[in-house]
Amino acid sequence: MNEIKIFSPATVANVACGFDVLGFCLDSVGDEMIIRKIDKKGIYITKIEGFDLPYETELNVAGVSALAMYNAIDVNFGFEIEIYKNIKPGSGIGSSAASAVGSVFGMNVLLGNPFNKTQLTEFAIKGEAIASKCEHADNLAPALFGGFTLVKSIAPVQILELPSPKDLYATIIHPQIEVKTSESRAVLPKDVQLNKAIEQWANLGSLVHALHTSNYNLIKTSLKDVIMEPYRSQLIPHFNEVKETALKAGALGAGISGSGPSIFSLSKGIDTANKVKEAMQKAYSKTGITFEIHVSKINIEGVKII
Ligand code: HSE
């Protein structure tokens, strides 16, 4: 096999209480990429459709993660990468992670799968870091492993795969404005109050327990971000209104997706997730800001060959 086409999914990072460690994978949005083995040595980005992104390998997220893998192998051929981007950069649903994961996943398949998903995460972190100016894997891990993941550490990379309760659905609204991860990180406080930290880690622990036990009521009471949301929500027009609307429509919880501006909610059952979609849609239509909205089940497969 010399060529492969893959689907690299969008993801929701943080999931309210799990800043930089928790994430889950979406199934209704994602990028497509073609990875091709070529005679010439090196990594080349040959096509980008959808958004204006750099073709220079060293400046492109997919290129940088591909290079990290390429430098770890010794082969007398190279790879071309075509990127068909559907996830808008700066949207908060793991656009850079999808690119970073897609190239290394595709190359690995063409090489006969010498690397496991933990090793692929290590390569992909290098690509993700050029977009967000720091190394974190809470979008990369769910894109690679699927489902919910917890990043126990990044040095060394340790990813825990968490179960996804079968009736859990996400509704994601994406206002068509850009919030760069680096800017959204810059507004965060350097120090955290102890009482807030206690509340946050109690919620993260209970959310992980709730996922293991499919305890929807515990998911509901755990989906809170008392540390980052007060700062970041100011970058997202009408955030509080949309969140309230989602909760009133029956969502278990809602919060900022990754570093924003997308807003996610989780619901029990597709009918509730659709009601939440309608309510969010109605609320945001009044703002004059264009948006996209998706309902998605939790994608337990992650990146895949298509
Ligand atoms: N955990 C990251 C953040 C996700 O919130 O900044 C976005 O890349």
Q: For residue range 280-292, what is the model confidence (pLDDT) as tens digits? A: 999 999 889 999 9
Give the separation between CA 82 and CA 111, rounded to whole angstroms.
18
Q: pLDDT averaged over the chain?
A: 96
CB neighbour list of residue 156: distance below 8 Å, 6 or more residues apart: none
CB hemisphere CA count around 294 (13 angstroms): 21
C-alpha of residue 116 to centroid of ligand 1, in Å: 24
Cross-strand pairs, 173 = 263, 293
What CA dihedral angle connects 44, 49, 52 and 55, to 10 degrees? 10
Domain ranges of the chain: 3-162, 168-297
For the segment(s) 3-162, the CATH number from 3.30.559.10, 3.50.50.60, 3.30.230.10, 3.40.50.300 is: 3.30.230.10
Q: For residue range 226-243, what is the model confidence (pLDDT) as tens digits? A: 999 999 999 999 999 999
Please state the separation of Cα 207 from the chain's center in Å. 18
Burial of 50 (0-12, 13-18, 19+ CB in 10 A): middle
C-alpha of residue 14 to centroid of ligand 1, in Å: 7
Structure tokens at 128: 């993700």
Q: For residue range 72-127, what is the model confidence (pLDDT) as tens digits? A: 999 999 999 999 999 999 899 999 999 999 999 999 999 999 999 999 999 999 99
90 Cβ inside 6 Å of ligand 1:
no
**Nearest CA owner, ligand 1 atom 3:** 259
What CA dihedral angle connects 56, 72, 3 and 121, to 10 degrees? -80
Residues taking part in catalysis: 128, 181
Q: How confident is the model at residue 1 (pLDDT cuts 50, 70, 90)?
A: confident
Give the separation between CA 62 and CA 149, rounded to whole angstroms.
21
For the segment(s) 168-297, the CATH number from 3.30.1330.200, 3.40.50.2300, 3.90.1170.50, 3.30.70.890 is: 3.30.70.890
Q: How confident is the model at residue 37 (pLDDT cuts 50, 70, 90)?
A: very high
Q: For residue range 128-152, what is the model confidence (pLDDT) as tens digits? A: 988 877 888 999 999 999 999 999 9
Least confident of 5-9, 87-91, 95-99, 298-302: 87-91
Q: Which of 210, 255, 204 is nearest to 231 (CA)?
A: 255
Q: How large is the C-alpha radius of gyration of the chain?
A: 19
Which DSSP string do the residues of 52-73 spell out, in sequence order? ----SGGGSHHHHHHHHHHTTS
Confidence (pLDDT) at 28:
82
C-alpha of residue 257 to centroid of ligand 1, in Å: 8
**pTM for the full model?**
0.96
| Atom of ligand 1 minimally distant from the CA of 20 | 1
Confidence (pLDDT) at 178:
87
**Amino acid identity at 102:** G
Structure tokens at 87: 């996830």
DSSP β-ladder status, 253-256 and 157-162: unpaired
Q: Which of 138, 150, 232 to mutate to test the pocket of ligand 1 (most atoms within 8 A of CB)?
A: 138
| Atom of ligand 1 minimally distant from the CA of 13 | 4
pLDDT at position 167 over 80: yes
**Nearest CA owner, ligand 1 atom 6:** 259
CA dist 296 to 66, 214, 222, Å?
Answer: 29, 18, 21
| Atom of ligand 1 minimally distant from the CA of 128 | 8
pLDDT at position 65 over 80: yes
